[in-house]
Structure 1
Amino acid sequence: MHPMLNIAIRAARKAGNHIAKSLENADKIQSSQKGTNDFVTNVDQEAESMIIEVIKTSYPEHSIIAEESGLLEGKDAEVQWIIDPLDGTTNFVKGLPNFAVSIAVRIKGRTEVACVYDPMLNELFTAQRGSGAQLNNSRIRVNPSKELTGTVLATGFPFRQKQHSESYLKILTGLFSECADFRRTGSAALDLCYVAAGRVDGYFELGLKPWDIAAGELIAREAGAIVTDFSGGTDYMKSGNIVTSSARVVKSMLKHIRENGNEAIIK
């Protein structure tokens, strides 16, 4: 195992266990709004501090991009840890047990290792570039679906960018005319991992942040999925718009996105 993946797993488990334990004392969870329909809790912040501490103990010179702390520059700017301490905060606040810790390491702009940990199910999704993806150390693979018909797709509503809701709903309607059904779980990191594990056949969402995507997209790609932005390119870390599935299903999904999306989201 890559030594940085080992540290990422250690940090994710520590943070995840703290998050799960915090639900036992729900009255001590303090929630506040940091943006439009975007929440943060004291537990997010505590979990993030734990992750940073684990990373800095082993790699004090590495840079870190964290959802709550922002950019923490280190002497070694070529190595970046991208952290989402609690992906699915709204679920967590509501007591819905679908959230995860997401950690990725990018070296010279390329994601090398990733882990996503679901503490409620004790499921650890991991990947190393070029070495495949695993769920609790067992190899996972994307469903090799050849057509959109019969697929179950995951998505997330653009709650941060409601100006795109009309365009998004047109895309959703177009896809729904062909696919079997949709799932909307509330955690982008887990949606990407569920594509990797074959639990859903594809996933699309717009307006995401780098920490929502960084770990899950490597896990999906290493499981054999195609990952693109809405124009079919690979600029999803910058645009925040992502599509993933098997090659043929991605092609069909992109067709609906192009036909129904507006120019502002298809760049």
Structure 2
Amino acid sequence: MISSYGELDDTAVAVTAARAGADVVRDLYGRRLARIDKGGGDFATTADAEAEKAILGVVRAARPDDAVLGEESGRQGSAGAARQWLVDPLCGTLNYAVGNMLVAVNVALRGGAAAVADPFAGEVFRTDGTKAWVRREDGADTLLEPTPATGLVDVNLDPPFPNAPGFRAVDLLAHPGFAERFRPRVVSTTLALTWVAAGRRAAYVTDGGDLSHSVHFAAGIALCRAAGCVVTGIDGAPVGQGGRGLVAAADAETHRQLMSLIAGPNQG
């Protein structure tokens, strides 16, 4: 099986790697796991580390000349490599550690294919960089089609908040106009980005800096863009170097409404 990985295209590599990580996350769920302290209240578990090993095993076998940036193992491969894979083996570690199944496994080729696996729903979201699909446990493929119909907006409330006081997510939720148009959700995992791409959420909002090449966000951003979502920073500028956070909206009108709330008086 390992020897055949090199025959896969980039999308298939991303999907195979994400599934390998998801298998580990699912198998270790509910066990007493060692915690690896990262400081500031952040930590990883044995599941994070083992899932990353499984993902890297696939990527290295399929693309030995590519570099990899893993959340747990850091940067590996040649510094001059033309291609880099971004790996977040368990997005939602705190959820997972307390028995919450809302987690994601993220694998993305920088500027290319990407996959996000939901270990417990049995879904794998993928993109080849132009279109995006979800494959369910029954093997059925569905093209991702964003829609604002739910009116649900996921907002990341986890620190740090680098753009405060100019932007604070809690202020967005407190804005009277927000409740008139949307309903908030907080899942604390970038799985929410796949839901925007799939039409299960109207939008996703998070603070931060440049998230385009983040191991946490790259795969979800790629899916949203390929599905046709409007993706910008919280200032409306393109996501990228010098960027500020992320707004991924199902359509232009939802994005416009959210930007008007973010720029409102309650946002400083």
TM above 0.5, yes or no, is yes
Instruction: State the partner residue of 1:191.
Output: 192
Distance 1:95 1:154, change over 3 A: same
| Structure 1: gaps (5+ residues) | 263-267
Instruction: State the Cα distance separating 1:212 from its structure 2 match.
Output: 1.4
Cα distance 1:163–1:213, how it changes in 2: closer, same or farther (>3 A)? closer
2:22 corresponds to 1:23: no
2:54 matched to 1:82? no
Equivalent residue number for residue 180 of structure 2: 178
Q: Over aligned residues, Cα RMSD in angstroms?
A: 2.3
1:3 and 2:9 correspond: yes
Structure 2 CA distance for aligned equivalents of residues 240 and 68 of structure 1: 24
Task: Show CA shifts across 1:5-57 (max 9, x none).
Answer: 11111111111111101015x12x11233132322111101111111121111
In the TM superposition, 1:147-166 aligns within 5 A as 151-161=151-161, 164=164
Deviations 1:157-216 (A, max 9, x none): 03233883883221221253332311111112x111000111111110113751111000
Match of 2:3 in 1: none
Matching residue of 1:117: 117
Alpha-carbon distance in structure 2 between the residues aligned to 1:18 and 1:69: 17
Question: Taking structure 1 as the reference length, what is the TM-score of the superposition?
Answer: 0.86
Corresponding letter in the other structure for 1:222: A
Q: Give 1:2 shift.
A: 7.1
> Residue 168 of structure 2 aligns to which amino acid in structure 1?
S
**What are the superposed Cα offsets for residues 212-254 of structure 1, whole Å, 9 maximum, x if unpaired?**
1100011111111000001111135754610011111111111
Verify: 1:48 aligned to 2:47, yes or no. Answer: no
Question: 2:178, 2:26 → 1: CA distance?
Answer: 35
What is the 5 A alignment of 1:116-265?
Answer: 116-130=116-130, 132-136=131-135, 137-143=141-147, 151-161=151-161, 164=164, 167-174=168-175, 176-188=178-190, 190-207=191-208, 210-236=214-240, 239=243, 241-245=245-249, 246-259=251-264, 260-262=266-268
Secondary structure in 2 matching 1:120: coil
Residue ranges of structure 2 left out of the alignment (5+ in a row)? 1-6, 136-140
Which of 89, 101, 105 lines up with 1:101 in the alignment?
105
Q: How many residues of Structure 1 are paired with residues of Structure 2 in the alignment?
A: 250
Q: 2: distance between equivalents of 1:35 and 1:176?
A: 34
Distance (Å, rounded) in 1 between the aligned partners of 2:244 and 2:72: 18
Cα pair 1:31 1:93 within 8 Å, conserved: no
Identical counterparts, % of pairs: 27
Matches of 2:148 and 2:151, distance apart in 1: 11
- Amino acid in structure 2 at the alignment position of 1:161: F
Shift in alpha-carbon separation, 1:94–1:63, aligned structure 2, 3 A: same
- Structure whose residues are more often helix by fraction: 1
CA distance in 1, matches of 2:162, 2:242: 19
CA distance in 1, matches of 2:128, 2:8: 7
TM-score by length of 2: 0.86
